[in-house]
Amino acid sequence: MCSLHVLAISLLGHLKVKHSLKFFSTETSGVQSIPEFVAGALVDEVQIGDFNSVRGAELKKDWIKFFEDHPQHLEWYSLQSNDSHHFFKATIKTLRQRFNQTEGVHIIQRMNGCEWNNETGEINGFNLYSYDGEDLLALDLQTLTWITPKPQAVLTKLRWDAQKTRLELNKNFLGYRCPEFLKEYLQYGRSFLQTAVLPSVSLLQKTPSSPISCHATGFYPDRGLMFWRKDGEEIHEGVDPGEILPNNDGTFQLSVDLKLSSVTPEDWQRYDCVFQLSGVNEDIITKLDKTAIRTNWSYLLFMCHCGRTRLKRSKKCRRLMLSSVASDLFTILWPKQYLQRNK
């Protein structure tokens, strides 16, 4: 019922997934306790390093040698970060006027970068801005124009649309230079970026009348898909899908619930839960089996037993209660509850 697979797969060979290089930049005004400008770069959600306007650039351990061997990359990042710092600072000043705001705390953020599918060769670039936590501007690379949902940002959109040289630079970077950077980083990082991890999958249930939750945890990267099937066909009725959530160790978890009201006892054997990891051909299939379901019923029954007898004051009862909690109750906490307990 519970399967654990660890696959080491070549990123540039068998693992057919989309790879990404993302740049995150944040400029704040009105906050004295933190650097005004902070930026970072991530390859397939793994951080390369970061930059702030106080101390400059700082690389993650795994990437130090690459930048020692390719100093032009570090020079480029430092130059871009410094330029972005000044550009963002001026942009915040302009946006305050556009939104008729005071000199309080304001934040502008940008996420730009590219995705590359190493199977099809498809490349997608993106350049998105937000202001004070809300969408501000997005670059349409097909028309080379900026899109905004904010009336206050229309003048900025028109001004940026008129900056043809800057638009061409964006197009060139997002469509050509960024993917080249990404491929170089994937090649260099193959020793520590190549591991795809399939999860352990369990069937969980809180009470006999609760839905059955198919819970996968410990997978990497965060490109998992999970669904319930009946007679080999994916079903949607009576199914409540969850979202992919992070674990504390850098892996991910996902749950999909199946309401028992839609399943007759004689039909249990016709249902199974399927987990798929993008780019990995091996599925994890878990049959709907009453004997495989992990519950906290035994814990609840035991608590009732201890509560009704003198055992509740004994060391033996306390030890058994702790053992029951450790081995049973905490294993069936739902993902959001687990995250809340570990913040």
135 and 220 both lie in a single domain: no
Return the pLDDT at 192: 78
Provide the token pair at 332.
């069936």
Residue 1 within a domain: no
Return the pLDDT at 194: 63
Residue 231: closest CA among 277, 282, 268: 268
Residue 104 within a domain: yes
Strand partners, 245: 253
Q: How does pLDDT run across 129-147, given as a tens digit for each residue? A: 999 999 999 999 999 999 9
109 and 243 both lie in a single domain: no
Q: Please state whether beta strands 271-277 and 224-230 pair in parallel, antiparallel, or not at all (unpaired).
A: antiparallel
Which pLDDT band, with edges at 50, 70 and 90, does 339 fall under?
very low
Q: What is the DSSP string of 145-200?
A: EEE-S-GGGHHHHHHHHT-HHHHHHHHHIIIIIHHHHHHHHHHHTHHHH-EEEEPE
Return the pLDDT at 212: 94
248 and 172 both lie in a single domain: no
Q: Is the pLDDT of residue 295 over 70?
A: yes
Residue 306 within a domain: yes
Q: Select from 192, 224, 243 the last residue of a domain.
A: 192
* Domains in the chain, number: 3
Q: Please state whether beta strands 200-205 and 293-295 pair in parallel, antiparallel, or not at all (unpaired).
A: parallel
Provide the token pair at 193.
């970026």
Give the Cα separation of 98 and 100 in Å (integer).
Answer: 6
Return the pLDDT at 280: 79
Residue 37: closest CA among 26, 22, 24: 26
CA angle (100, 105, 111) in 5-degree steps: 95
Contacts of 32 (CB under 8 A, 6+ apart): none
Give the Cα separation of 202 and 331 in Å (integer).
Answer: 10
Provide the token pair at 303.
């608590």
306 and 172 both lie in a single domain: no
73 and 61 both lie in a single domain: yes
167 and 269 both lie in a single domain: no
243 and 323 both lie in a single domain: no
Q: Is the pLDDT of residue 306 over 70?
A: no
Task: Give, in order, the Cα–Cα distances in Å from 265 to each of 261, 262, 274, 300.
Answer: 10, 10, 20, 24
CATH code at 221? 2.60.40.10
Q: How does pLDDT run across 221-280, given as a tens digit for each residue? A: 787 999 999 999 999 999 999 999 988 777 899 999 999 887 888 899 999 999 999 767
Give the Cα separation of 328 and 3 in Å (integer).
Answer: 18
152 and 289 both lie in a single domain: no
Asked if residues 20 and 29 have their Cβ atoms less than 8 Å apart, the reply is no
Q: Select from 192, 211, 233 the last residue of a domain.
A: 192
Residue 232's domain spans which residues?
Answer: 199-294
236 and 177 both lie in a single domain: no
246 and 108 both lie in a single domain: no
Per cent of the chain over pLDDT 70 is 80
CATH code at 109? 3.30.500.10
Give the Cα separation of 215 and 257 in Å (integer).
Answer: 9
Return the pLDDT at 342: 38
73 and 170 both lie in a single domain: yes
Strand partners, 293: 203
Residue 3 within a domain: no
Q: Select from 146, 164, 192 the last residue of a domain.
A: 192
Give the Cα separation of 119 and 65 in Å (integer).
Answer: 28
Looking at residue 94, the DSSP 8-state letter turns out to be H
Q: How does pLDDT run across 179-195, given as a tens digit for each residue? A: 999 999 999 998 777 66
Which pLDDT band, with edges at 50, 70 and 90, does 320 fall under?
very low
Three-class secondary structure of residue 229 per DSSP? strand
Residue 178 within a domain: yes
89 and 175 both lie in a single domain: yes
Residue 5 within a domain: no
Give the Cα separation of 188 and 287 in Å (integer).
Answer: 40
Asked if residues 173 and 167 have their Cβ atoms less than 8 Å apart, the reply is no
